Amino acid sequence: MEKTGVLSAKEAFEKLEKVGEGTYGKVYRAREKATGKIVALKKTRLHEDEEGVPPTTLREVSILRMLSRDPHVVRLMDVKQGQNKEGKTVLYLVFEYMDTDLKKFIRSFRQSGETIPPHIIKVILSICPSIFNIRFFFVHLFLSIWLQSLMYQLCKGVAFCHGHGILHRDLKPHNLLMDRKTMMLKIADLGLARAFTVPIKKYTHEILTLWYRAPEVLLGATHYSMAVDMWSVGCIFAELVTKQALFPGDSELQQLLHIFRLLGTPNEDVWPGVSKLMNWHEYPQWNPQSLSTAVPSLDELGLDLLSQMLKYEPSKRISAKKAMEHVYFDDLDKRHL
Amino acid sequence: MSVSCSNCFPDDDDSFLLCGEDSSGIIDSSPECSSDLDSPPPSEAEAESIAGFIEDERNFVPGFEYLNRFQSRSLDASAREESVAWILKVQAYYAFQPLTAYLSVNYLDRFLNSRQLPQTNGWPLQLLSVACLSLAAKMEEPLVPSLLDLQVEGAKYVFEPKTIRRMELLVLGVLDWRLRSVTPFSFLDFFACKLDSSGTFTGFLISRATQIILSNIQEASFLAYWPSCIAAASILHAANEIPNWSFVRPEHAESWCEGLRKEKVIGCYQLMQELVINNNRRKPPKVLPQLRVTSRPIMRSSVSSFSASSSFSPSSSLSCKRRKLNNSLWVDDDKGNSK
């Protein structure tokens, strides 16, 4: 981390506006008085109970201490201690400020009817100058490069986490922060993240927002590893293309049925051991559909990558590092990412 | 980065402790480590993770000079041993994961490596032990006992939650919030699979190696070895307990992953063997009758920074509320704001 918390939060920062609310407190956009730099302050209340620093805060901060040096993980700049009006201890996590997240970004795209803002065109040209030479100014081509860039950054961030033994366990568009100007994407909200020991260990399966939850977790597997994050990455990939959630279930059962309708009901042939999982029942039998029915505008290479992210058998699912090497990303100038 | 903790124990805070001293014997616990016997062999991605752990592990061990301080007697090895024994007893009492106990000791050692306690045993070390165990439990356990309930199994002093909370913040500041330590458990599954690719004995190897690691963390000599080395030595030690596996030699470990040094693994392995022999010779500890002592260390701001000039004054007359808890006494602070 960059600084030592010498000044209290109140002395060091000027709160500008509330930008969100998390489990343990509010998130503010703030200005650092000494430098004028805009930051995000995540306020963590310690006084809710007498049990000290909350586990999610401990996990998030300690994991960020390990991962924050990666450009695709949100940077934790400092932790400040302060007191609220009642004199109770409050912790402020000081993050670099990112002006949007992928959820908002997708929503704004959906509302604007796929028109591309000029600043995005500028960024895309810097990432892939060959477009300019060929003079292909078609919307879908811009979107394709934009999509490749975001997906590559996401895979790179996830690969970094996994390389340091960290499962995120809650990857979703809302937890992927973005800078609109530079189109830089960063993984955030590591409160649910866990360290894993390889190959696999038992973890609770009550994790992950339903829509991005891997089938092995839904079916009650307590042994899982990096593949759960890659399933989430696949769901996010499809959502970036269609601007709609790929599997929008409203219960665990409905979530499974959404998955089975598209990918076919799994069996021992495609996924050895599936019928032994805790929540396995006799489900309706569906045949697998082509992924292009769900994501029609994605090109062949993109569909190939997506299919590898959405493999039923966790051990067969592509790793983040392997995904970065996929031919789908060959057009990108990766030096900028 | 650190949290500013200069006001962790403010001058005007009159929190104090009424303590019950307990000299019960150390219970040797050997918890099991759950593992699938049919774990798949390590994948390429997992091998990369191991390389990451090897790269990071040096950031999560106290320096060699810390071990020297025990050898030169400037740090009290028996006081550390007692603290670790208490942590292991609480771990067994609540059936915490082995990793939780190991992390607690890791935090304790890293703190003591960076900061001087006002006295090398007694209540400051007990407070540090409770704070480290609390932090480790919150990092790893799905269900964490309250700060009061954590102080069981012969805790000599019972601290108020707000005192522990301040100590937690101090520990976090000193450790720079780096609680996600690389430990021997980060390597066990991988090394077990390397040694036994068939998977026949991996469950036993991991479980037994876990017991070996936990039974040795009281011994300060192991601070000379990094987590990967301890993991390799404990897996080898476990392997030698399997009939017809005497062909396994410490030298084999060098090929398991880059960064393991043969001579270090051999040294650690030999130390483990010596300790097994010594433990077999050791007589069971004498259990003394429980003593109940009341003392009142006044926590001044100098205590928060653990400077050598800290003063402690036991108090004779105590008019305060008492609460009996697990054979120890707990008191609210002077202001009478009982929780």
Percent of all residues in chain B with a pLDDT value above 70, rounded to a whole number: 63
> B194 and B109 in one domain?
no
> A215 and A112 in one domain?
yes
pLDDT at A124 over 80: no
Query: Residue A92 is part of which domain span?
Result: 2-96
Choose one of A78, A96, A114: the last residue of a domain.
A96
Q: Closest to B1 (Cβ–Cβ): which among A3, A7, A51?
A: A3
Query: Residue B131 is part of which domain span?
Result: 62-175
- The domain total for chain B is 2
pLDDT at A302 over 80: yes
Distance CA B88, CA B100 (A): 10
Q: Provide the pLDDT confidence category of residue A232 given band limits of 50, 70 and 90.
A: very high
Q: Please compute the mean of the pLDDT values over residues A23-29 and round it to a whole number.
A: 75
Pinpoint the alpha helices (H) of B175-323: 185-195, 202-216, 227-239, 262-281, 301-304
Q: Provide the pLDDT confidence category of residue A7 given band limits of 50, 70 and 90.
A: low
Choose one of B175, B194, B221: the last residue of a domain.
B175
CATH number at residue A55: 3.30.200.20
pLDDT at A136 over 60: no
- Output the pLDDT for position A125: 61
CATH number at residue A331: 1.10.510.10
Q: pLDDT tens across A40-79, in order? A: 988 875 644 557 888 878 878 888 877 876 888 987 888 8
> B230 and B189 in one domain?
yes
- Across all residues in chain A, what is the average pLDDT? 80
Choose one of A68, A96, A124: the last residue of a domain.
A96
In a domain, B9, yes or no: no
pLDDT at A234 over 70: yes
Percent of all residues in chain A with a pLDDT value above 70, rounded to a whole number: 76
- Minimum mean pLDDT range among A198-202, A294-298, B264-268: A198-202
Contact assignment for B3 to A81 by CB distance below 8 Å: yes
Element (H, E) at B123: helix B123-140
- Output the pLDDT for position B137: 96
More confident residue, A310 or A289: A310
Q: Please compute the mean of the pLDDT values over residues A187-211 and round it to a whole number.
A: 61
In contact, B147 and A52? CB cutoff 8 Å? yes
Q: Provide the pLDDT confidence category of residue A297 given band limits of 50, 70 and 90.
A: confident
Choose one of B141, B175, B209: the last residue of a domain.
B175
More confident residue, B285 or A125: A125
Mutate to test the interface with B, among A62, A92, A197, A317 (most CBs of B within 10 A): A197
Contact assignment for B180 to A81 by CB distance below 8 Å: no
In a domain, B97, yes or no: yes
Could you confirm whether A333 is annotated as catalytic? no
Choose one of A96, A126, A149: the last residue of a domain.
A96
- Minimum mean pLDDT range among A255-259, A297-301, B136-140, B312-316: B312-316
In a domain, B329, yes or no: no
CB contact, 8 Å: A279 with chain B? no
- Across all residues in chain B, what is the average pLDDT? 70
Q: Provide the pLDDT confidence category of residue A120 given band limits of 50, 70 and 90.
A: low
User: What single-letter DSSP state applies at residue B59?
Assistant: G
> A31 and A179 in one domain?
no
Give strand ranges (E) for chain B. 20-21, 291-292, 322-325, 328-331
Tokens 């992924």 correspond to what residue?
A291
Which residues in chain A have Cβ-Cβ distances shorter than 8 Å to B45? Answer: 162, 226, 319, 321-322
More confident residue, B32 or B76: B76
Q: A320 to chain B, minimum CA–CA distance in Å?
A: 9
> A214 and A191 in one domain?
yes
CATH number at residue B260: 1.10.472
Which residues in chain B have Cβ-Cβ distances shorter than 8 Å to A165? Answer: 49, 52-53, 182, 186
Q: pLDDT tens across B56-77, in order? A: 786 788 876 788 878 786 788 8
pLDDT at A227 over 80: yes
Distance CA B108, CA A60 (A): 21
Distance CA B141, CA B100 (A): 7
> B243 and B167 in one domain?
no
CATH number at residue B121: 1.10.472.10
- The domain total for chain A is 2
> A259 and A179 in one domain?
yes
- Output the pLDDT for position B61: 83
Which pair of structure tokens corresponds to residue B163? 């005192």
